[in-house]
A and B are shown apart, each in its own frame.
Chain A
Amino acid sequence: MIKTIVMQHIMCCPKALKICKGDDKTMSNKSNNLYRFLVAQGDDAIILSHRLSEWCSNAPYLEEDLALTNVALDYLGRARLFYQYAAELKGGDETEDSIAYTRDERQYTNLLIHELPINDFAYTLLRQYFLDVFYVEYMTGLCQSSDQRIAAIAGKSVKESRYHLKRSQPWITQLAEGTEESRRRILDALTELESFVGELFEMPEWEQQLVTDGIAFDRQLIREKWDHQVQALLSASDINILDSQLKIGGGREGIHTEFLGHLLSEMQYLQRAYPGLKW
């Protein structure tokens, strides 16, 4: 049965066998870079959205259950906007769903921090806080993109992320200064997440080219601000970090943690089992 499904899939989606390095001969270099950028942005957002949605009916308060899924919904919306633009750029049969549902681990190019499991509430919130600080700055910068559509998506995103940050930041302080246990959990989360933060500020060559072209925003420009803001919050609770230099990377080249494959097999299950149907 499984074999049949796999065969069906291969027959219906020949592209699925190709490791996607993003190079499409039918597109110019510039639009190829743009396409990669849009898909990568969409990947970051959809993968984080998936993780956050795992909190549904599992949060410590009903209010937090609603908040976490609300943030998940914002990131899902963000992913759709980037994917839809990418699909239009590529043309043909490509849709937001074919991008999300028919690519494998090696073709997904999200930065690794987004795919890490939710672990516990401290871990989820610390990751969210790190990303909220990052996205407020990054999306603010991206609003200046010469590509009007990207600028518009960034404009919507920055409003959402500001709101997310308002919620995640006080949580970090409360957990860091709450009980011994909550502090230990924050410190444990920090030990792990610290290794994945650096990748947020890295850019492959094609993204640097987009920066030069005025389309993408230079991630390096916000590193210092990010360091300063995060360190200020944590040191107020007597916690020392943080080194945001690159430690673990590879997401943009499709080199992931083992967690992503399981996430995708769950997310893509119906599209893979019954290829080509409308739902």
Chain B
Amino acid sequence: MRNTDEHALQAEFDRRVAAEEKIEPTDWMPDDYRKNLIRQMSQHAHSEIIGMQPEGNWITRAPSLRRKAILLAKVQDEGGHGLYLYSATETLGITRSEMIEALQTRKAKYASIFNYPTLTWADIGAVGWLVDGAAIVNQIALQRTSYGPYARAMIRICKEESFHQRQGYELMLEMAKGSPQQKQMAQDALNRFWWPSLMMFGPHDGDSAHSSKSMQWKIKRESNDTLRQRFIDQTVPQIEVLGLEMPDPEIKWNETRGHYDSGEINWDEFYKVINGNGPCNHQRIKHHVKAHQDGEWVREAVRAYRAKQARKKDERAA
């Protein structure tokens, strides 16, 4: 009997996914679909939160009040995205504290790009322009993802991310057209963030562990390599406008393909950073754990205060 029910539910689920209908929190869904979504969405939320660190690294040192205001607002936006995505993930039956624990015990991942350091002010431009730029390419595709709360979150988040990308590019433009030292900082930032940005799209399609199921469920809508190519194609002309050198000497327009060709990513570095050995992996998690532990007495105080208030209320009622 149960089997028959489950088959019917599965068939209905498949039909809805095929018909491009959104799956909502109270709908039946296969366990693996739920798990896959929790993995991807919480990873996305963690990325927003950990990403606050390399950008926050420059808030107190921003070189003008206007830039400081933009950066403060941007980092707040990222924190807001994290909050929004944690809430969307909670609709799948996991709590925020469980997700945070998974992050801190390194069971859950976050975007590997944030394991690279922001060393100069130009890096703040590069993060906005390239990292948010790559994220947008990914997230535009995700606006059509099959899970309703995730798709709606993406629509909202994309709007803010495209503003972030523009401010990052404007910062780079100011520096690329500025003094020789500023131009050098801009070039250096581009060189360092180019490859990690390409890595944000994940392994080649053939090597991607979660891709095929995710595509079938329409959680993921386009392949890693397709999205990566789209990012390269849109970014190369922007580098030309900046007047900076290409970060990859193999970048060349391919008339036949109608796309830019580019060099091969250093996959050893990709796996090294993913597996915890990037320049800042330890720093990022330690920072998150420390902030969390330092705040424990505050959360404890809130719990104690609420309990006292509840007791008082009960006593009054009695």
Contact = CB atoms under 8 A, between A and B. Distances in A.
A229 interface: no
Given A174-B305, A279-B63, A59 B291 contact: yes
A69 to B, nearest CB: 5
Contact of A69 (B75, B175, B299, B308): B75
A266 B181 CA distance: 20
A279 B174 contact: yes
Given A46-B65, A83-B65, 5 more contacts: A57-B288, A60-B291, A66-B76, A174-B301, A178-B302
Contacts of A100: 65
B263 interface: no
User: Lowest 5 CB-CB distances: which A-B pairs, in order?
Assistant: A60-B295, A178-B301, A182-B301, A270-B63, A60-B298
26 contacts: A57-B56, A60-B294, A60-B296, A61-B299, A66-B79, A73-B72, A76-B68, A80-B69, A83-B65, A101-B63, A101-B64, A121-B295, A173-B305, A174-B305, A178-B305, A179-B304, A182-B297, A182-B300, A267-B61, A270-B63, A271-B63, A274-B179, A274-B181, A277-B181, A279-B178, A279-B182
B148 interface: no
Contacts of A202: none
Contacts of B82: 62
The binding surface of chain B is classed by DSSP as helix
Contacts of A80: 65-66, 69
A60 B175 CA distance: 36
Contacts of B72: 53, 56, 69, 72-73, 76
Given A267-B60, A270-B61, A179 B49 contact: no
Contacts of A97: 64-65
A58 B292 CA distance: 8
A64 B53 CA distance: 16
Interface string A74-113: 0011011001000000000000110011000000000000
Nearest to B302: A174
Interface residues of B, number: 47
B66 to A, nearest CB: 8
Contacts of B69: 73, 76-77, 80
A253 B154 CA distance: 51
A173 B301 CA distance: 10
A76 B64 CA distance: 11
A250 B178 CA distance: 40
A118 to B, nearest CB: 11
B297 A59 contact: no
B41 interface: no
Nearest to B301: A178
Q: On chain A, which size bracket covers the interface?
A: 35 or more
Contacts of A174: 301-302, 305
Interface in A121-143: 121
A49 B160 CA distance: 23
B83 A62 contact: yes
B179 A66 contact: no
Given A59-B295, A181-B300, A266 B49 contact: no
A70 interface: yes
Contacts of A64: 295
A104 B21 CA distance: 62
Interface string A254-279: 00000000000011011100100111
A73 B74 CA distance: 11
B297 A181 contact: yes
A227 interface: no
A205 interface: no
Given A56-B52, A61-B295, A277-B179, A270 B300 contact: no
Interface in B211-243: none
Among A58, A121, A274, max chain B CB count under 10 A is at A58
A160 interface: no
Nearest to B293: A60
